[in-house]
Structure 1
Amino acid sequence: MKKLISLALALFMVLSMIPASAEAAYTQAPMLDGMDLPPVAERMPVEPMVEDADYLQIGTYGGELRRAADGGNWYNGKPIEEGLFRFTTEGVAEPNVAKDFDVNEDATVYTIYLREGMKWSDGVPFTAEDCVWFYNAVCLNKIDSKGIRNCHKDANGNPAVVEKVDDYTFTVTFGTPKYDFIEALTVDLKWHFAPKHIFEEMVQCIIDGKNDEALALGKAICGMEFADVGALGKETLYYFWNYPGIPTLNPYVLSTEEGKNNVKGQYYEYVRNPYYWKVDKAGQQLPYIDKIVGVTVSNVDQKLMLLLDGTTDFETVGMESIPTILESQTQINIYEWAGADWGATQIHFNLNVEDEHLKELFNNADFRQAMSICVDREELAGLLTDGWLGGGQAAPAPGQLGYSEAWATKWTEYDVAKAKALFEGCGLVMGADGFYDFADGTDLVLNIVSVADSGAADTYKVLEPYYRAAGIKCTFKDSDRSNIDNDLLANAVQVMLAPVTNIGDISIVLKPNSMVPGYATNVAWYGTMDETTATGDLLKLIELKKQLDVTASTEERTAIALQMLKLHEANQWTLAYVEAAPAYHAVNARIQNFLENGVWSDIYRDMGIAHCQCWFIAE
């Protein structure tokens, strides 16, 4: 059957189809004039996508968007990322790189249609071959370090079959119904493609074990050396936007010019993609702004200083910075977006930790309750946020599925005496040094880790005295994201503070990563636990997710999701000590078309939903 699309989405698709007679009306940025390029009409697909949201003005070309550099990774990637599909601000997955899709009656075969005539940023045609090859060569062989995502697995865990139909059509076939494939794809994989003409030989060398040849080819592509083929595949095929010489479909690509092409250097530039495939309602090829520049900063405070003196144009800031911005009387607009996390200052226990003593303790609800109530949340929140936020718990916010006042306040009272009684009920024994030990005399030490520069180190300094006063000894170490990722995959992390991604999001259905063992990056929450090692309510959670995967009815899916959330409420596997905060964006008033009322969510790609290709500068 044809996938039913909402009236709004259908209208969007109609407006996105510019007839051939309008080709002559396409215009390009003046910076492209005089370059050795085909005419703009020849660089566009037959049916380009039109950015026509109601809030968007017709913009003007030129200028640069200035940012404080942050070393690459998602900081640069999310704002410019383009996937086959994307979410609207209403949470609907809509065609993006893809033009449309069909799905058969039992949701086992999806047919994806691409935009005829679309091109990579180097001018080479983008076709179904790039999508099919990426899955079969890169994903199935785990070349990009991620392998087969959950969006490509059927209810039995078997991988989908991806096949080319023609240059602009491919199919994705599952062994069992996959009702949420488009939504899951938009969360899990996003792009589902890579430039085959650039990477085919390199990837084949990795598959064939010709590592030296693969490394040489990788260096030839982006001018950089990689430690091994694992790093090569991960960096060039997953974090590809951070490397020069790699064609993309994004509105901006990293410069290849020396001194401007290193995202970890002092200065870098992302320049406009001359083959970008989107236009505004007037037929102007996007983006409006010529380039995005990054300037290195030495610390977080410097980011605010650069924003206030006009060196940079926008920054996501903490609410504690807002008075300083307002008092500066600078031309900066503050935009408040809703947050999606289940509280802030979260602590996560590895429920499948290798140490058997800790594993038993972490899976004991009384221990988690004790760790929750031994902290004075209101005092902690006041110290961490200068009184801007109050205490909170890891629970859905008002308006989110599963919210209840009882859950929002669960285990939030401050009661050290009760916490100690709970610790002792778990079999812990107070030692002569004032800290609890296990009953066999083994020291209890919680080794807490976090990502460097996440702010967790400062948080720990305020949080640790509460633990110490309750008799819990802790250590703390923060590390680079790559080191944390490796330790998580090796199940070498015991406890995480302020993890890479907080538990919660706009939908447990769309993104179960932090809420169900065995999904994607959730080693931060459940270690390497899956259905073979989970027990009790954790196993029930996995079973409900499997039931959700084979349920077609929206009402029934929502009912299952609520059951899953009830298990979280009953067990409180993750703790938060501070209420969730909105996301605040401080934006120079010269930047136009910034999304005023957004939701800060990884599902929406954080800043990505603001569509920076539509921003323009009003001097």
Structure 2
Amino acid sequence: MNVQQKKKAPRSALRVPLWWVAALVLALSSPVWGQPAQFNEAPQLAERVSAGELPPVEERLPDNPLVVPVVERIGTYGGTWRTVLLGASDANHIRRTIGYEGLLRWTPDWSDIVPNVAESYEANEDATEFTFHLREGMRWSDGHPFTAHDIMFWYEAVVMNEELTPAPPTWFTTGEDNVPGTVEVIDDTTVVFRFEQPNGLFLLEMAGGFGVIPVSYPRHYMEQFHIDYNPDGIDALVQQAGVNTWVDLFQIRGNSPDYTVEHWQDPNRPMLNAWVPTSPYAGTRFTAQRNPYYWKVDEEGNQLPYIDSVVYDIVEDAELILLRVANGEIDFLDRHIADPSYRAVLFDNQERGDYRFIEGPSAFMNTLVVPFNLTHRDPVKREIFQNKDFRVALSHAINRQEIIDLVFIGQGEPWQAAPQADTPYFHERLATQYLEYDPELANEILDRHYPERDAQGFRLGPDGNRITIIGEAAVGSQTHVDTLGVIQEHWRAVGIDLQVRPIDRSLLWQRIEANDVDVSVWDGDGGGLEALIRPRYYFPSELASAQAPAWAAWYINPTLEIAEEPEEPERRQMELYEQLRATGDLDEQSELMLEILEIAADRFAVIGVSTRPLAVGIARNNLRNVPDSIPQTGGFYPNPAPANPFQWFFE
């Protein structure tokens, strides 16, 4: 079956069964909801219309606004959604709450891909051409028209500018040579993406976080910060901003291809979101208020969002977040409270905090992955880490059931870094090999390679020095730190010195992408359908592949400073993945993914701990239209945003 073959009407929805189902079918169909007879708006906006500050709501909406069905009932306007950010680098939480407005989007239950910013779309049969039809009359948050020319600005001024984009994003490239696609504007509301070779994952990428990027560059605002569009005035703006170059200036004005902190630093930059920033992401609070030109309505024609504003308090300690939840000071949150050790506190304070639990399936494949950096800068550590026997021994040295009982309050089962059992990508050998807790076997294997020990009983490496591994975990991810602490004792028992180092989240990723880590632990994403999109722990596919950042750099762009040509097995995985990206045939995609996983099982570069428990979030009892279940994926379905927070309301 070819994912591009079932074409019907122009208005479209890509039918994608839930992530544990094998089939993936493209279906083009008409929307269920018709246009309301009249439109209404929030009282605060009506006041601005009366004062002559805004045009009437009918003039602010596009000709065909997106009609969104509500979960429970038509809501009422007003209120402030209170939530939190963990430190200065938690931009992902902003993206997952108010920043998910791409060309396409997931439905709340993760069963469909549907048009969003694009009113409709079409794809040709070989997945090389994708046409998006935009909404006539749609506007940025400042009232300026949003058109296909804004997308063209992103393409010409950002993607094709080597100073801003040294290497094009992989989702926008095809073939072994990573040839970037092209963009053509047909008219103000029609734009075509073309690729030299089939891009079988492109629509999935557009429904995830990457679909936001092409529609995040308001040309009328951003061109003043670009040297090609403002050559005479750019120097003065650079000086005024206190930065060194026009590239630095463009960055701080919102050039954030991965939706990092820079995206939220300029509250003057127009957006398409339901709420737009009124302050930069800095200090102790980040705020956003309703977008008067938001282009979605409910079935009765009420312009969304219902909630007036969103306030993010910026805190430095995850336990402070827990305290705020318990005190009823947070209205919705499904991030930073997943630590199983928090469950008892959350349950005990449910009545006092006046909240209910929002549960959902987790698409993560593991509670924690432990990748060994096979491309370590230190030749001695590289030699040790590349020794598969060493990795196998340390896997057998881990008492996973003890970790499950102590850290994850008895939830989960031992599991390696492998897709979940109820997915089409389940690979039994990868999931179950080397799980047995057997310190005697671990010592036996290690004795064959590193028999010498120092006075404290730690093994010596080939250079005669103690084998010491720095295990880094993000501050705020307490289960990661706690799990490493237990593993530290397990590995000490077999003569390996693991030093646990909690580190700032943003600094951790900087160190990984610079190839400066030994072992850096993180959530094991890629448990289901996301394995196709982000297979970073199955082979070195991106700089965040902590098991081999230098090989990943070569795959992305061989000219990068840390890039090294991979060994043959990883080269083969990269070739297979390029074949996977180049086909829309689901059976072929699954076969290719299983080949990649077969090699991953042979290499065993990443150790896993256990399966993930059911994901839990909280919603205040007076916050309505929140689904009872919201999937958690870590990015592919950027929860809770696909659950449509713009139709949540306070009763």
Does TM, scored on the shorter chain, surpass 0.5? yes
In the TM superposition, residue 341 of structure 1 has moved relative to its aligned partner by 1.5
Among 75, 81, 100, the residue aligned to 1:65:
81
Q: In structure 2, the residue corresponding to 1:339 is in which secondary structure?
A: coil
Q: Are 2:156 and 1:123 equivalent residues in the alignment? A: no
Residues 222-252 of structure 1: per-residue CA shift (max 9 Å, x gap): xxx6676665544522142353111111111
Identify the range of structure 1 (37-46 vs 353-362) with the bigger mean alpha-carbon deviation.
353-362
Q: Are 2:196 and 1:164 equivalent residues in the alignment? A: no
Q: How does 1:138-157 map to 2 (within 5 A)?
A: 138-141=158-161, 147-156=167-176, 157=178
Residues 426-485 of structure 1: per-residue CA shift (max 9 Å, x gap): 456433442122234244221222333222334433331222221112334333333333
Q: Are 2:60 and 1:43 equivalent residues in the alignment? A: yes
Residues 61-88 of structure 1: per-residue CA shift (max 9 Å, x gap): 1111111333441111211221111123
In the TM superposition, residue 365 of structure 1 has moved relative to its aligned partner by 2.4
Q: In structure 2, the residue corresponding to 1:509 is in which secondary structure?
A: helix
Distance in 1, matches of 2:29 and 2:92, equals: 28
Identify the range of structure 1 (424-433 vs 68-77) with the bigger mean alpha-carbon deviation.
424-433
Structure-1 residue corresponding to 2:328 = 310
The residue type paired with residue 295 of structure 1 is D
The residue type paired with residue 581 of structure 2 is D
Structure-2 residue corresponding to 1:85 = 104
Distance in 1, matches of 2:113 and 2:537, equals: 21
Q: Report the identity percentage.
A: 28
Q: How does 1:172-191 map to 2 (within 5 A)?
A: 172-187=193-208, 189-191=210-212
Structure-2 residue corresponding to 1:526 = 548
The residue type paired with residue 325 of structure 1 is L
Structure-1 residue corresponding to 2:395 = 372
Identify the range of structure 1 (365-374 vs 457-466) with the bigger mean alpha-carbon deviation.
457-466
Structure-2 residue corresponding to 1:506 = 529
The residue type paired with residue 85 of structure 2 is A
In the TM superposition, residue 92 of structure 1 has moved relative to its aligned partner by 3.6
Identify the range of structure 1 (106-115 vs 2-11) with the bigger mean alpha-carbon deviation.
2-11
In the TM superposition, residue 199 of structure 1 has moved relative to its aligned partner by 1.1
Structure-2 residue corresponding to 1:564 = 596
Structure-1 residue corresponding to 2:560 = none
Structure-1 residue corresponding to 2:133 = 113
Distance in 1, matches of 2:219 and 2:269, equals: 11
> CA distance change for structure 1 residues 422 and 210 in 2, over 3 Å: closer, same or farther?
farther
The residue type paired with residue 473 of structure 1 is D
Q: How does 1:346-357 map to 2 (within 5 A)?
A: 346-357=369-380
Q: How does 1:52-451 map to 2 (within 5 A)?
A: 52=69, 55-70=71-86, 71=88, 72-80=90-98, 81-88=100-107, 89-141=109-161, 147-156=167-176, 157-187=178-208, 189-191=210-212, 192-193=214-215, 194-204=217-227, 213=236, 215-216=238-239, 219=241, 232-235=249-252, 236-238=254-256, 239=260, 240-255=263-278, 261-316=279-334, 317-318=337-338, 319-328=340-349, 329-330=351-352, 331-403=354-426, 407-427=430-450, 429-451=452-474
Identify the range of structure 1 (582-591 vs 547-556) with the bigger mean alpha-carbon deviation.
547-556
In the TM superposition, residue 335 of structure 1 has moved relative to its aligned partner by 1.6
In the TM superposition, residue 277 of structure 1 has moved relative to its aligned partner by 0.6
Q: Are 2:457 and 1:457 equivalent residues in the alignment? A: no
Structure-2 residue corresponding to 1:609 = 642
> CA distance change for structure 1 residues 79 and 521 in 2, over 3 Å: closer, same or farther?
farther
Is 2:420–2:528's contact at 8 Å kept on the other side of the alignment? no
Is 1:85–1:190's contact at 8 Å kept on the other side of the alignment? yes
Q: In structure 2, the residue corresponding to 1:25 is in which secondary structure?
A: coil
> TM-score by structure 1 length?
0.89
Is 1:303–1:315's contact at 8 Å kept on the other side of the alignment? no
Q: Are 2:577 and 1:545 equivalent residues in the alignment? A: yes
Residues 31-60 of structure 1: per-residue CA shift (max 9 Å, x gap): 21221111111111111111126x342211
Identify the range of structure 1 (28-37 vs 534-543) with the bigger mean alpha-carbon deviation.
534-543
Is 1:344–1:579's contact at 8 Å kept on the other side of the alignment? yes
In the TM superposition, residue 211 of structure 1 has moved relative to its aligned partner by 8.0
Q: In structure 2, the residue corresponding to 1:412 is in which secondary structure?
A: coil
> TM-score by structure 2 length?
0.85
Which runs of 5 or more structure 1 residues have no equivalent in the other structure? Answer: 220-224, 256-260
Distance in 1, matches of 2:117 and 2:236, equals: 32
Identify the range of structure 1 (545-554 vs 142-151) with the bigger mean alpha-carbon deviation.
142-151
Q: In structure 1, the residue corresponding to 2:281 is in which secondary structure?
A: coil
In the TM superposition, residue 130 of structure 1 has moved relative to its aligned partner by 0.9
Is 1:205–1:214's contact at 8 Å kept on the other side of the alignment? no
Distance in 1, matches of 2:58 and 2:200, equals: 38
Q: Are 2:517 and 1:497 equivalent residues in the alignment? A: no
Distance in 2, matches of 1:63 and 1:476, equals: 43
Is 2:512–2:520's contact at 8 Å kept on the other side of the alignment? no
Distance in 1, matches of 2:629 and 2:67, equals: 21
Q: In structure 2, the residue corresponding to 1:600 is in which secondary structure?
A: coil
The residue type paired with residue 194 of structure 2 is T
The residue type paired with residue 40 of structure 1 is V
Among 465, 484, 489, the residue aligned to 2:508:
484
In the TM superposition, residue 144 of structure 1 has moved relative to its aligned partner by 5.8
Q: In structure 2, the residue corresponding to 1:268 is in which secondary structure?
A: strand
> CA distance change for structure 1 residues 476 and 324 in 2, over 3 Å: closer, same or farther?
closer
Distance in 2, matches of 1:282 and 1:515, equals: 47
> CA distance change for structure 1 residues 503 and 111 in 2, over 3 Å: closer, same or farther?
closer
Among 576, 593, 610, the residue aligned to 2:608:
576
In the TM superposition, residue 98 of structure 1 has moved relative to its aligned partner by 1.1
Is 2:297–2:304's contact at 8 Å kept on the other side of the alignment? yes
Is 1:448–1:475's contact at 8 Å kept on the other side of the alignment? yes
Which runs of 5 or more structure 2 residues have no equivalent in the other structure? Answer: 16-25, 556-563
Distance in 2, matches of 1:152 and 1:370, equals: 40
In the TM superposition, residue 131 of structure 1 has moved relative to its aligned partner by 0.6
Structure-2 residue corresponding to 1:595 = 627
Count how many residue pairs are aligned between Structure 1 and Structure 2: 600
Q: In structure 2, the residue corresponding to 1:185 is in which secondary structure?
A: helix
Residues 534-565 of structure 1: per-residue CA shift (max 9 Å, x gap): 22432221121122122232222222222222
Residues 472-525 of structure 1: per-residue CA shift (max 9 Å, x gap): 1233433333333332332222210226x74545332233344332x3443423
In the TM superposition, residue 274 of structure 1 has moved relative to its aligned partner by 0.6
Q: In structure 2, the residue corresponding to 1:477 is in which secondary structure?
A: strand
Residues 113-149 of structure 1: per-residue CA shift (max 9 Å, x gap): 1111111111111111111111221122256668511
> CA distance change for structure 1 residues 211 and 108 in 2, over 3 Å: closer, same or farther?
same
In the TM superposition, residue 265 of structure 1 has moved relative to its aligned partner by 2.5
Q: Name the Cα RMSD after superposition.
A: 2.9
The residue type paired with residue 496 of structure 1 is S
In the TM superposition, residue 600 of structure 1 has moved relative to its aligned partner by 0.4
Distance in 2, matches of 1:207 and 1:353, equals: 43
Structure-2 residue corresponding to 1:222 = none
Among 13, 28, 37, the residue aligned to 2:41:
28
Q: In structure 1, the residue corresponding to 2:94 is in which secondary structure?
A: helix
> CA distance change for structure 1 residues 3 and 290 in 2, over 3 Å: closer, same or farther?
farther
Distance in 1, matches of 2:493 and 2:265, equals: 45
Identify the range of structure 1 (334-343 vs 384-393) with the bigger mean alpha-carbon deviation.
384-393
Distance in 2, matches of 1:267 and 1:7, equals: 38
